[in-house]
Amino acid sequence: GVRGLGRVGTGVAAGLAGAGVGTLVLEDAGHVTRHDVGASGLRDQDVGRPRADAVARLLRDVAPDVRTSDGEPDLVVVVEHHVADPVGYALLHEAGRSHLSVVVREASALVGPLVVPGRTGCLRCVDLERTARDDRWPTLAAQLARAPAAPEETTLALATAALATAQALAHVDGRPVTVHDASLLLRLPDVLPHVVAWPRRHECGCTAPDPVATG
């Protein structure tokens, strides 16, 4: 599943379909804007259409056999702006659904962590770790959550979508995933990924202690 179909989310959906993922659940209640058109593959004539419908059309161009439908996907790629929504991730975690967080900012992006409930740390662990590093984080996060989303810069969107697609495919294929208990941080202008580790927080209680941290 892909939730959030701006330039990054559309790129992830197209990458997954092109790689052979047969069924995708597309989630976005918005409509295509002029900022979505271009590198993502959406066209001028898509402006004003529901995003999920326009991306479904794009996917059929990329992979004619792909299916887009409602359902409960094995993995949800959640693309958000500024900061991850703790309520949304709590619901996914409680449902036992694996999810990959992608947070896009004006000049940077975070790909990960990819959360496997009960086996890896969760997004609450990330918030607790951020707060331990900077006690102003909860206030800043609340401010960021209210900020309007900026248009996704083209180079950053392309690189972020590619990395998110690669991590999602690694999970689906059962290969090692770099962003378990970690994120890939990209910053303009170089957009080279840097690994940021997120240790599991014992006070969260979402999973067993991190064997690396406790070893």
| 140 three-state secondary structure | helix
Name which of 129, 78, 125, 86 is nearest 104 in CA terms. 78
Residue 65, class by beta-carbon neighbours within 10 Å (0-12 exposed, 13-18 middle, 19+ buried)?
Answer: exposed
User: What are the structure tokens assigned to 201, written together?
Assistant: 């927080």
Q: How far apart are CA 1 and CA 69, in angstroms?
A: 10
Q: Tell me, what's the pLDDT at 187?
A: 97
pLDDT(65) > 80? yes
Nearest to 171, CA basis, from 85, 96, 74: 74
Domains of the chain: 2-214 (3.40.50.720)
pLDDT at position 209: 55
pLDDT tens sequence across 68-114: 988 889 999 999 999 999 899 999 999 999 999 999 999 999 999 99
What pLDDT does residue 210 have? 53
Instruction: Point out which residues pair with 81 in neighbouring strands.
Output: 104
Q: Dump pLDDT digits (tens) for 3-54.
A: 999 999 999 999 999 999 999 999 999 999 999 998 888 999 999 999 999 9
User: What pLDDT score was predicted for residue 214?
Assistant: 42
Q: Which residues pair with 80 in a beta bridge?
A: 103
Check whether 132 has a pLDDT greater than 60: yes
Q: What is the pLDDT of residue 130?
A: 95
The reply to whether the predicted model has a pTM over 0.95 is no
What pLDDT score does 114 carry? 98
Which pair of tokens denotes residue 155? 């180079």
State the Cα–Cα distance between residues 40 and 149, nearest whole angstrom. 17
Q: Distances in Å between the alpha carbon of 47 and those of 31, 50, 76, 104, 196?
A: 7, 9, 25, 22, 36
Q: Which of 191, 11, 37 is nearest to 110 (CA)?
A: 191
Instruction: Report the alpha-carbon distance of residue 30 to residue 97 in Å, rounded.
Output: 24
- Would you state the structure tokens that stand for residue 137, as one six-digit string? 């984080």
